[in-house]
């Protein structure tokens, strides 16, 4: 049992992050297309299945793997090859301390739904993500290209500067939760939305949010790879899978950043207004409601897809794609909805209640995280890019003092409260 | 209009009796031919002392009169403009074959620097006391001077494969401070000719201290296609397709500009409907040009979404030009004496539809950017050029107006009845990147206004003049009458022959004053066509504008100047 849990803990989080990457890329493409009044990718298909453009990711993978992997002459091969590995490694391992659901009691054992419940979890996050600087710096320097060098330097100074603000914002959270463990911070926020940290610590939330944009090198802080200025920055010289690793790392960083925002400021796995106990005790009712709602949504989309069917639209397998998804959805909706209506709320055993609660919490976490991940894309296609000195000014003269102010204010308020109660 | 011209020549003759060889007025242009010895004094007098003063050197070009019997071999031609009265004067200085040298006027006008380099490059005329007399359009190591009449048009040269000193751009790593603990050196970075933000093939070489640009040198000529040399071996009509390729973003405007010049030397007036259609296509082109300029500038600033909003609108306008001219990019739409195809009701509805999309696009983009703090920080007080410098560099068009000089040929020297339209000329105040971009925003709205007025008062009638020496006769005439057949034959085999003389015509293109200086020897082919590309002076000034800024500023500045390399390099 212990070994099984151990293996699951090791496998699930990285797989989760890695699977979010194609989803993010799909978001990026379809989202930008939607924002820019285009259609976005809709051509690649496997036996007529296009999945609204997700299949393009498979095509990309094949392309990137089969492309020639060029290592320019006069590069430091060790650093050149090592840099993308560091990037993807850092991107994935940060998720380790983020809890996906409340701890679960299995028999005698309390199982945490996260890889490691470190009592200095947040510090671990910063320690690991700081290592990310090495990847861009090494990539920029070892490429032996002036544009790469500029990109690497930009990235290094930007990440170091914003890490300060990032680190200081969470001090307020430590003070509130009286712990540096991520799971403790999540638990402390409770199910009540007004007790979540984005309400309790609004300034910290905004600074943190902006700083993670800078940390992940996303617009408006995408100077390290600002394509119109320094071509592609630190990964100008990279090709094939080495480029893909950088590309994946960027999205992995975004996923992790979204997970952190969710955990630290939006109650993590907390379901609004429902405690774990509520979920467990009321599990049959909530399950009933969930099945009905999901069935209804599936019915709606199933019918929507079926109504799209038109023979001869493409004159090949793509014609039947809507059926491939529409019919199962429709049947699923009928089966789920029917069984829910006719067999009523089901009584659940104890393990079922626990599992249900954990699943609902994980889903809650996933939905919040997906939203924040999408937010990165939304911002990217809305804002222009900063200039290098403006980024530095903003970081050092704007965010850092504000983060410090936040700590002072939080401390004063806590003291005042403590005095009143005590 | 004649009086001031006469006054100018009179004053000039009084002041420099020994130096003025001849003066005349033809086709509305005042010409003064002077001896080369005191050219700087004469031009300084015109610039500073005479009233009204000619503060702007609009164009400087050379002509090789090898085949003209009664003439000196070379001539350097200066076109001056007065911003107060909008008078123009042409000063010509003949040079002998033995001694093709003249004093540089670069102390008077900053614009002269690059113009004189081009004349040196093309004709081998030496300018004394020029600060940096090097080739500009041709590559270093090119032999001969291509626009000389004795340089065969078919001659090919190989670019030297040996490592030529590309750093004739003269930038070298410099040590900064000797006293520093760390010996630091500047970094030389090539931006372009193949770079995502150098639209076309433009190259900057910059000397960097960190990200700050200490010095910058622009290198042009990568897209040089010998437009002027080509034109000398083509008939006037055959030149029109070449003009498409000058500013390929608003090709119809170049067509109109060239046709306008030829019609000026022919002394003909095109029919009112053709005029109105030309106004419409010009303004459509202006909108498209501004759309591309702004869209590209926004992309360079990292705001990619705006690009799509603008290109959507541009696409709709291109649909209209496609219906009108049969082509989208290289339209070849005008003919000498009119336009090629008439505008149909179908196209008019298309234009109205396109304007709906355009309005929405302008609204969307201005909402996204106009008050966006990042955008303002990136553009305001970046790349500032003062009014005086802009005039000295020969700025025209939106970039000049962004500095606060309300000079617009459409208002000030109206052609094609532009004075009968109700439109405003937007003017900036600071002359920074933000102003340059915002002026273009407003100009698009004004152009749309002009087009709407033009569409409502489009007069009926022919779209070509009926002059058998200029316009092709109707096909029925060609097949039905011997006279028509002969006219057709003559135009097709011979071409249009304007009288002997010279003319400078200026039209307000999207980017500024598009000038064509045509010298005709009376034959069917122009003896010399000089195109004054509006972005040539802009590019010349960009070297100074970017100094002290950062790489990101260089990108923003180049984007706001709208450098179209097709027109820059010709």
Q: Give pLDDT tens digits for A398-414.
A: 889 999 998 899 889 88
Strand bridging mode B126-128 / B187-191 = unpaired
Q: Judge contact between B362 and B448, C-beta under 8 A.
A: no
Parallel, antiparallel or unpaired: strands B512-520 and B528-532: antiparallel
On whether the CB atoms of residues A420 and A256 are closer than 8 A, the answer is no
Average pLDDT, chain A: 84
CB contact under 8 Å between A32 and B305, yes or no, is yes
Would you say A393 and B311 are in contact if contact means Cβ atoms under 8 Å apart? Answer: no
Mutation for testing the B interface, residue in A384, A386, A388, A389 having most B CBs under 10 Å: A384
Query: How far is the C-alpha of A249 from the C-alpha of A132, rounded, in Å?
Result: 10
Residue with tokens 């011209």: B5
Q: With CB atoms and an 8 Å threshold, state whether A388 touches B298.
A: no
Helix H, strand E, coil C: the string for B90-157 is EEEEEECCCCCEEECCCCCCCCHHHHHHHHHHHHCCEEECCCCCCCCCCCCCCCCCCCCCCCCCCCCC
Partners of residue B369 in chain A, C-beta under 8 Å: 384
Query: Length of chain A in residues, anyone?
Result: 422
Q: Write down the pLDDT at residue B517.
A: 92
Average pLDDT of the segment spanning A261-278: 83
pLDDT less than 70: residues of chain B: 1-6, 161-183
Q: What is the ipTM of this complex?
A: 0.82
C-alpha R_g of chain A: 24
Contact A228 B368 (CB under 8 A): no
pLDDT at residue A421 tops 80: no
Cα–Cα distance for residue pair B370/B294, rounded to 1 Å: 13
The C-alpha angle B565, B566, B569, rounded to 5 degrees, equals 70
Chain B residues bordering chain A (beta-carbon distance below 8 Å):
187, 189, 195-197, 211, 298-305, 308-309, 312, 368-369, 372, 374-375, 377-378, 550-553, 555
What number is the average pLDDT over the span A375-396?
87
pLDDT in tens, A108-166: 777 777 777 777 888 888 888 888 888 888 888 888 888 888 888 888 888 888 888 88
**Dmax over Cα atoms in chain B, in whole Å?**
91
Q: Is the pTM of this model over 0.90?
A: no
Contact A229 B375 (CB under 8 A): no
Does residue A348 or residue B444 have the better pLDDT? B444
Which pLDDT belongs to residue B161?
63
d(CA B99, CA A302): 87
Residues of A with Cβ-Cβ distance to B378 under 8 angstroms: 384-387, 390
Contact B302 A384 (CB under 8 A): yes
pLDDT in tens, A273-315: 777 777 777 878 888 888 888 888 888 888 888 888 877 777 7
- Answer whether B550 sits within 8 Å of A383, measured CB to CB: no
Mean pLDDT calculated for residue range A337-348? 78
Q: What is the mean pLDDT of residues A194-213?
A: 87
Give the separation between CA A364 and CA B324, rounded to whole angstroms.
Answer: 57
Contact list, A219 vs chain B (CB under 8 Å): 302
Tell me what pLDDT residue B183 has: 65
Span A70-84, average pLDDT: 86
- Rounded-to-integer distance, Cα B437 and Cα A207, Å: 32
Q: How many CB pairs under 8 A join A and B?
A: 82
- A230 contacts B302? CB cut-off 8 A: no
- Token pair recorded at residue A107: 């028999």
Chain A closest CA to B178's CA: distance in Å? 24
Which candidate from B300, B375, B553 shows the least CB-CB separation from A228?
B300
For A221-243, b where at least 16 C-beta lie within 10 A, e where not — what string? bbbbbbbbbbbbbbbbbbebbbb
- Contact between B331 and B325 under an 8 Å Cβ cutoff? The reply is yes
């Amino acid at each position: 049992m212990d070994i099984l849990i151990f293996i699951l803990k090791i496998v699930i989080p990285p797989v989760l992050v890695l699977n979010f990457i194609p989803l993010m890329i799909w978001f990026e493409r379809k989202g930008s297309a939607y924002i820019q009044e285009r259609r976005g990718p809709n051509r690649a298909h496997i036996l007529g299945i296009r999945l609204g453009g997700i299949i393009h990711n498979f095509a990309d993978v094949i392309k990137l793997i089969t492309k020639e992997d060029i290592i320019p002459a006069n590069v430091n091969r060790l650093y050149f090859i090592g840099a993308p590995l560091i990037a993807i490694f850092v991107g994935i391992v940060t998720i380790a301390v983020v809890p996906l659901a409340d701890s679960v009691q299995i028999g005698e054992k309390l199982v945490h739904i996260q890889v490691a419940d470190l009592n200095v979890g947040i510090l671990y996050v910063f320690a690991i993500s700081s290592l990310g600087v090495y990847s861009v710096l090494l990539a920029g320097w070892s490429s032996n290209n002036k544009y790469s060098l500029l990109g690497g330097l930009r990235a290094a100074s930007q990440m170091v500067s914003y890490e300060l603000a990032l680190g200081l914002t969470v001090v307020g959270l430590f003070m509130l939760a009286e712990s540096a463990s991520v799971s403790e911070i999540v638990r402390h926020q409770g199910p009540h939305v007004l007790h979540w940290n984005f309400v309790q610590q609004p300034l910290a939330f905004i600074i943190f949010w902006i700083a993670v944009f800078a940390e992940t090198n996303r617009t408006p802080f995408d100077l390290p790879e600002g394509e119109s200025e320094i071509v592609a920055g630190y990964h100008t010289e990279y090709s094939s899978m080495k480029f893909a690793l950088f590309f994946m790392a960027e999205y992995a960083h975004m996923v992790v950043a979204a997970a952190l925002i969710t955990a630290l400021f939006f109650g993590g796995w907390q379901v609004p207004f429902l405690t774990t106990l509520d979920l467990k005790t009321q599990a049959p009712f909530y399950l009933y409601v969930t099945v009905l709602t999901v069935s209804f949504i599936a019915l709606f989309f199933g019918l929507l897809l079926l109504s799209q069917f038109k023979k001869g639209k493409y004159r090949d397998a793509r014609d039947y794609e809507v059926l491939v998804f529409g019919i199962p959805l429709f049947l699923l909706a009928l089966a789920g909805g029917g069984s829910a209506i006719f067999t009523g709320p089901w009584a659940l055993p104890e393990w079922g209640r626990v599992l249900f609660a954990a699943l609902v919490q994980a889903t809650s976490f996933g939905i919040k995280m997906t939203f924040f991940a999408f937010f990165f894309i939304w911002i990217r296609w809305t804002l222009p890019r900063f200039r290098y000195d403006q980024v530095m000014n903003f970081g050092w003269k704007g965010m850092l003092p504000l983060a410090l102010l936040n700590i002072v204010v939080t401390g004063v308020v806590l003291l005042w409260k403590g005095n009143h109660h005590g | 209009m004649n009086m001031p011209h006469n006054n100018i020549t009179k004053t000039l003759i009084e002041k420099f009796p020994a130096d003025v060889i001849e003066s005349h007025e033809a086709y509305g242009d005042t010409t003064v031919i002077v001896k080369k010895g005191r050219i700087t004094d004469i031009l300084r007098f015109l610039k500073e002392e005479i009233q009204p003063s000619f503060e702007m050197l609009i164009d400087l070009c050379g002509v090789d009169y090898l085949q003209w019997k009664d003439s000196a071999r070379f001539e350097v031609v200066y076109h001056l403009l007065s911003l107060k009265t909008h008078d123009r004067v042409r000063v010509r200085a003949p040079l002998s074959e033995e001694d093709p040298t003249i004093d540089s006027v670069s102390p008077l006008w900053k614009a002269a620097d690059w113009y004189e380099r081009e004349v040196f490059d093309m004709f081998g005329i030496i300018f004394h006391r020029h600060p940096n007399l090097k080739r500009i359009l041709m590559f270093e190591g090119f032999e001969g001077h291509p626009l000389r009449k004795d340089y065969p048009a078919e001659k090919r040269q190989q670019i030297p494969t040996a490592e030529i000193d590309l750093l004739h751009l003269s930038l070298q790593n410099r040590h900064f401070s000797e006293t520093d603990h760390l010996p630091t050196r500047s970094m030389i970075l090539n931006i372009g000719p193949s770079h995502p933000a150098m639209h076309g093939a433009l190259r900057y070489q910059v000397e960097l201290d960190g990200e700050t640009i200490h010095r910058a040198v622009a290198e042009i000529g990568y897209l040089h296609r010998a437009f002027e040399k080509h034109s000398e071996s083509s008939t006037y009509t055959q030149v029109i397709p070449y003009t498409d390729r000058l500013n390929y973003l608003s090709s119809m405007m170049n067509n109109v500009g060239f046709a306008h010049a030829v019609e000026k030397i022919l002394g003909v007036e095109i029919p009112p409907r053709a005029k109105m259609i030309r106004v419409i296509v010009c303004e459509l082109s202006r909108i498209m040009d501004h759309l591309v300029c702004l869209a590209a500038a926004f992309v360079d600033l990292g705001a990619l979404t705006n690009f799509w909003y603008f290109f959507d609108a541009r696409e709709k306008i291109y649909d209209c030009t496609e219906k009108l001219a049969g082509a989208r990019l290289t339209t070849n739409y005008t003919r000498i004496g009119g336009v090629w195809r008439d505008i149909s009701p179908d196209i008019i509805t298309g234009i109205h539809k396109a304007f709906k999309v355009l309005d929405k696009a302008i609204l969307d983009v201005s909402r996204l950017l106009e008050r966006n703090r990042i955008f303002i920080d990136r553009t305001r007080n970046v790349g500032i050029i003062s009014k005086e410098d802009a005039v000295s560099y020969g700025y025209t068009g939106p970039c000049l107006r962004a500095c606060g000089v309300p000079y617009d040929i459409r208002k000030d020297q109206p052609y094609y009845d532009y004075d009968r339209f109700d439109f405003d000329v937007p003017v900036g105040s600071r002359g920074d990147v933000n102003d340059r971009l915002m002026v273009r925003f407003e100009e698009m709205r004004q152009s749309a206004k002009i087009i709407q007025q033009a569409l409502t008062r489009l007069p009926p009638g022919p779209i070509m003049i009926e002059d058998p020496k200029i316009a092709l006769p109707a096909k029925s005439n060609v097949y039905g009458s011997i006279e028509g057949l002969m006219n057709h034959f003559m135009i097709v085999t011979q071409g249009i022959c304007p009288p002997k003389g010279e003319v400078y015509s200026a039209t307000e293109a999207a980017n500024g004053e598009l000038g064509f200086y045509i010298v005709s020897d009376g034959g069917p082919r122009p003896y010399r066509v000089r195109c004054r590309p509006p972005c040539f002076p802009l590019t010349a000034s960009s070297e100074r504008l970017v100094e002290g800024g950062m790489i990101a500023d260089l990108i923003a500045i180049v984007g706001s100047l709208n450098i179209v390399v097709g027109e820059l390099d010709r």
